[in-house]
Amino acid sequence: MCHAPIVIPAVSGDRGFDCAASTRAMAEAARVLVAAKPATVVVLSPHAPRHQEAFTWKSGSRWVGSLAPFGWPGLRMNFAADMDSAEALAHAAVRNRVPLDPSEDGPLDHGALVPLWFLREAGYEGPVLVLGFPWRSSNALMECFALALGEAMGELGRTWALVASGDMSHRLLPGAPSGFHPRAGDFDQAVLDCVRAGRPGDVAAISGELRDLAAEDVTESLMVAAPLIGSQAPGHRFLSYEGPFGVGYLIAILRNEAV
């Protein structure tokens, strides 16, 4: 799921027509997730607080977030934190030698808040675990973290859902948030090819140069999600892609065991 606040109808206003496909796809992804009746939702957010070399889990027993930084202070939500999942993940991380630390107990970041807004609209009221990435990482470390997360959730024996939050290139058009680059669209196409084929983990093969020039924040979430969904993921479905404001928004169902 993308995390651009503008895909929320209350935020987009008259500009909603330009990102209507993304808004519809986010609502559909949320509907599918809620229909699976997960006991908890894990959100991978590239905008969660980061440590240099450790993954993070958002501390605190209940989280409040708003879109005040984007001019919408009245758009507020709160969620119960899944402390059991956080504890299980902490133990699994130690066993798998993956650095994991709690982050400060601050407001929810928009990388988590935007997808969660759609989940709440679709009827989800359960607990949430928000996870962040280290500043310095590697493909191997991402895979180890994914394995630790899968192990932890498996031990709890719960039905759970994963939201891989991320936006594609931020440089698709003149005036884009990170400026324009003529090759930015090449990055988005490469990611689209991987997701459409049901192989999101293949984004790990995209060159670091292309990732950097695209100014993206989607590959980390996909690289952690990929080992968890497996190579024969049932029910994977591309929902939409567009970049009307110079940032690429990709929404897809990576795995749906209910299919």
* pLDDT at res. 106: 82
Rounded to whole angstroms, the Cα distance separating 33 from 31 reads: 5
* pLDDT at res. 74: 85
* pLDDT at res. 81: 94
Instruction: Confirm or reject CATH 3.40.50.720 for domain 5-253, answering yes or no.
Output: no
Bridge-based pairing of strands 55-58 and 237-242 is unpaired
Helix, strand or coil for residue 64? strand
Residue pair 129/102 in contact (Cβ under 8 Å)? The answer is no
* pLDDT at res. 230: 87
Tell me: the pLDDT tens digits for 28-60? 999 999 999 999 999 999 999 999 999 999 888
Which residues of the chain, if any, have pLDDT below 50? Answer: none
* pLDDT at res. 259: 74
Domain boundaries along the sequence of the chain? 5-253
Tell me: the pLDDT tens digits for 245-259? 999 999 999 999 887
* pLDDT at res. 231: 79
The full DSSP string for 88-107 is HHHHHHHHTT--EEEEPS-P
- The CA–CA distances, whole Å, from 230 to 29, 163, 211 equal 19, 15, 24
Q: Which amino acid is at 133?
A: F
Residue pair 240/25 in contact (Cβ under 8 Å)? The answer is yes
Residue the block writes with tokens 């997360």? 149
